Amino acid sequence: MTRRVLLMFAVLALIALGLTFYALHLKRKVARDEQLAAEQQRALAPLTNGPPTPVTLYIASDSDGTLRRTQVNVTLPPERTERARAVLRALFGEYLQSSSSHPIGAGADVRDVYLLGDDTAVVDTNAAFGDAHPSGVLAEELTVASIVVTLNANDSKIGRVKILINGQERETLAGHADLRRFYEASNIGQVVKDLQ
């Protein structure tokens, strides 16, 4: 074998070794991400103990572009903002199921809900909600509408809702739905009628 062939084999071996290391690194990373997603999924479990209470959820469906009203039992904390958060986490829990007809980004969660005065709720979602939400006018509208009407259905005093991503205002959810504005439940109500 000539020196040139040997050199070529050495380079190829080095590249193969590098790719092996890189493949192992990717495998570990995927495992870590899956574990994190599972932990975040688990994090959507109820925050408190107590008897389950029926709550109303408006659940979106991408296949027919509708919102469906349904009831589930959720353990609700006594404090109003915590209750609102628990209701939204129940809604997100529905969307995070693998069988969901309106999937949202894996790991999406509600970080907090704040009340401004008596009637305005500010919903702070995590980065995964905004970064991995499917893009589309209708898909994003369904998510926003379901959040607003679900909050209003379970706390009728909440008439205005603002959505933040990771504590920050964003221009749009995933390129379409306006997140700079406050949403009026009364306006969304008309949309929901159209979507039902």
Partner 1 sequence: MAITAGLALLFAGLLTRQAGVHAQAPGQNQLTVYSPQTSYSVPLLDVNGQPYAGLVELLEPLGSVDARIDGKKYKLHFTPPGGRPLEVQFAGGKDKGKVRGNGYKLPANFVLQNGRGYVPLSVTSEIISRLLGSDAQLHPAARRLFIGNVQARYTLELHKDNPSRLLLGFSSPVNPSIATEPGRVRLTFRREPIVSSGPENVPYSDPLISGVTFSEHDGLAELDVTGTAPLMANFADGGKTIIVTGAPAPAPVAQEAPPAAPAPANPQNPSPQPRQPAGPRFLVLIDPAHGGNDIGAAITPSLPEKDVVLALARRVQRDLVNRGIAAGLLRNSDVAITLDQRAIWTNATRPALYIALHAANTGQGVHVFTAMLPAANLSPQGFLPWDTAQAAFLDLSGSVAGSVAAELESRKLPNATLLAPLRPMNNIAAPAIAVEIAPPAGNVDEIASAAYQEQVAQSIAAGVAAVRAKLPEVRP
Could you list the residues that contact partner 1 (CB under 8 A)? Answer: 14-15, 17-19, 21-22, 25, 62-65, 134-139, 141, 144, 171-172, 174-178, 180-181, 183-184, 187-188, 190-191, 194-195
d(CA 93, CA 85): 12
| Minimum separation from the CB atom of position 94 to partner 1 (A) | 17
Give the count of beta carbons closer than 10 Å to the beta carbon of residue 51. 7
User: Considering beta carbons, is residue 43 or 137 the nearer one to partner 1?
Assistant: 137
d(CA 27, CA 6): 31
φ and ψ at residue 38, rounded to 5 degrees: -65, -40
| Minimum separation from the CB atom of position 153 to partner 1 (A) | 19
| Minimum separation from the CB atom of position 112 to partner 1 (A) | 22
User: Considering beta carbons, is residue 143 or 154 the nearer one to partner 1?
Assistant: 143
User: Considering beta carbons, is residue 157 or 181 the nearer one to partner 1?
Assistant: 181
Decide if 124 contacts 114 (C-beta within 8 A): yes
d(CA 147, CA 162): 10
CA 43 distance to own-chain centroid? 12
| Minimum separation from the CB atom of position 110 to partner 1 (A) | 20
Q: What CA–CA distances, in Å, run from 152 to 28, 37, 113, 155?
A: 43, 29, 13, 5
User: Considering beta carbons, is residue 92 or 183 the nearer one to partner 1?
Assistant: 183
d(CA 90, CA 101): 15
| Minimum separation from the CB atom of position 179 to partner 1 (A) | 9
User: Considering beta carbons, is residue 55 or 161 the nearer one to partner 1?
Assistant: 161
